[in-house]
Amino acid sequence: MKLKDDFLWGGSIAAHQVEGAWDEDGKGLAIMDLVTEGSYGQPRQIHAAFQDDSRYPSHRGIDFYHRYQEDIALFAEMGFKALRISVDWSRIYPNGDDEKPNLAGIEFYQNVVDELKRYQIEPIITLYHFEIPLNLVHKYGSWKNRKVIDFYLRFCETMFTALKGKVKYWVTFNEMNHIDPQTEASDIFTYIIAGLKYSELTDKAQTLAIIGYNMTLASCAAVQLGHQINADYQIGCVFGIEPVYPIDSDPNNVLKAFKQMDRDFYQIDAMCNGIFPQYKLEEYRSQKIKIEVSQKDAEIFELGKLDFIGMNYYASSVAEYEGAVESKSALFGGLHNPFLKTSKWGWTIDPVGIRYLLNYTYRKYGMPIMITENGLGAVDQIEQDDSIHDNYRIEYLKQHIKEMKKAVELDQVDCVGYLTWGPIDLVSATTGQMSKRYGFIHVDLDDKGEGTLERKKKDSFYWYKDVINSNGEVI
């Protein structure tokens, strides 16, 4: 098998990390509008109200809201076949529970999509990428409350209808899998995904389980709704998964690694098999967590099966084991894998992991997979002549694309697209920094939020253009 002729090469961005214009044209407040910048090892602060001496990176983003035409022209110059964007829910329903949508918000996304279509770039629309209206958190308690599912579905219906005939690919949620009682939680992680601080949750395990369940249900209901509005819609859900390796060949450690990786898959099981997995309900029962699957819910799971699985891949990790001194995942600089180097932000660099993840997932479900994010956050330097020699980024992407190709060509995995994270420099989700750069296009903006916002092509820009142009033959 070769990469298909219509293989979706491109990139992914998210509204709160690029748009800026946080209070323009009727947009309401969304959760990330109250999160400050942080840095490696220093978490972003989550504020209840704006503080004068603080900076909130989403407010300016990289000003994609006003510069999307310029940015899309640059993506087109690289030959992009697809761009994944997210719709900020708070632009469409400023409070989440409004009676009517904000037409200016809809118009903005229609314009962005039209601009993409002008260049034959396939829009891939994520309906939830860390952007819940703040009012839904304060008034209803976020995803703990099933009413929020109804508000989410109304928002989905508005977008499915508004972009009908223009958009084929949809994503219901980005990385809901990080919310689970079994997964290591931190304030910023639960906040990014659900607008709630982990440390402030009462009955933590029960709450995380309900949020995970409600989001899974919401995703299935959205798939069903989307298919009713247009049977041709291809609707996926995106997961951020790290392959987990055992520390050694002790069978207990191998089993531990398997279990640790597998716990990130229960929602994919539900969405691909059409039934909320029994083993997860048993696990909940054993922990005194109460989750009931009603007959109505069971029907929603059954009728809302995905068309494709989206995978965000950055790093692998090593499973914890009895007696481990360190106890954090590799994403945060935890258990050391002596075979791998890490990025400046402590994320392991593991190209083979992408092949492993693609194989693991495809063998489980036999469903098309799209790599919806992959990339290296690194510090770039601008030379005197304005050039940016980001060969480390090229090297990272090159090795990952090679392994992805092996998964397709040798292992026969049906991988339908490869989107880099941050084809243009943008605000980091976990640290709020600009200096953690992912782009092929440099944006003149620093960690203090200062700069002209001017765009500049890096060496990787020309390299990726050749990759796309040759459909992955010239890497």
Q: Which range touches ligand BGP (CB under 6 A), out of 75-83, 362-370, 408-416, 428-436?
A: 428-436
The answer to whether 287 touches 205, Cβ cutoff 8 Å, is yes
Q: Which residue has the tokens 């050694």?
A: 248
* 423 interacts with ligand BGP by CB under 6 A: no
- Is residue 373 flagged as an active site residue? yes
Helices (H), 329-458: 351-365, 391-409
In degrees, rounded to 5, the angle at the alpha carbon of residue 96 between the alpha carbons of residues 149 and 33 is 115
- Taking CB under 6 A as the criterion, the residue among 135, 158, 260, 430 binding ligand BGP is 430
* Candidates 175, 242, 320, 403; catalytic one: 175
Q: Which residue has the tokens 């989750």?
A: 291
The answer to whether 143 touches 211, Cβ cutoff 8 Å, is yes
> Toward ligand BGP, which CB reaches closer, 174 or 214?
174
- Is residue 200 flagged as an active site residue? no
* 190 interacts with ligand BGP by CB under 6 A: no
Pairwise CA distance, residues 451 & 472, whole Å:
35
Pairwise CA distance, residues 60 & 68, whole Å:
14
What letters, b where the CB count within 10 A reaches 16 and e where it falls short, cover 393-430?
bbebbbbbbebbbbbbeeeebbbbbbbbbbbbbbbbbb
Query: To the nearest whole angstrom, how small is the minimum distance from the Cβ of residue 231 to ligand BGP?
Result: 29
Reduce the DSSP state of residue 156 to 3 states and report it.
Answer: helix
Interface characters, 392-421, with ligand BGP (x: CB under 6 A)? -----------------------------x
- Whole-Å CA distances, 423 to 12, 78, 187, 325: 7, 10, 28, 37
> Toward ligand BGP, which CB reaches closer, 194 or 300?
194
- Taking CB under 6 A as the criterion, the residue among 19, 33, 131, 175 binding ligand BGP is 175
> Toward ligand BGP, which CB reaches closer, 225 or 268?
268
- Taking CB under 6 A as the criterion, the residue among 174, 224, 317, 460 binding ligand BGP is 174
- Taking CB under 6 A as the criterion, the residue among 58, 206, 214, 312 binding ligand BGP is 312
Query: To the nearest whole angstrom, how small is the minimum distance from the Cβ of residue 178 to ligand BGP?
Result: 8
* Candidates 19, 37, 373, 403; catalytic one: 373
* 436 interacts with ligand BGP by CB under 6 A: yes
Residues 203-262 close enough to bind ligand BGP by CB under 6 A: 240
Helices (H), 165-277: 187-194, 204-229, 251-262, 266-273
CB half-sphere exposure, 306, CA atoms < 13 A: 29
Query: To the nearest whole angstrom, how small is the minimum distance from the Cβ of residue 42 to ligand BGP?
Result: 13
Q: Which residues form the interface with ligand BGP (CB under 6 A)?
A: 14, 174-175, 240, 312, 373, 377, 421, 428-431, 436
Residues recognised as catalytic: 175, 373
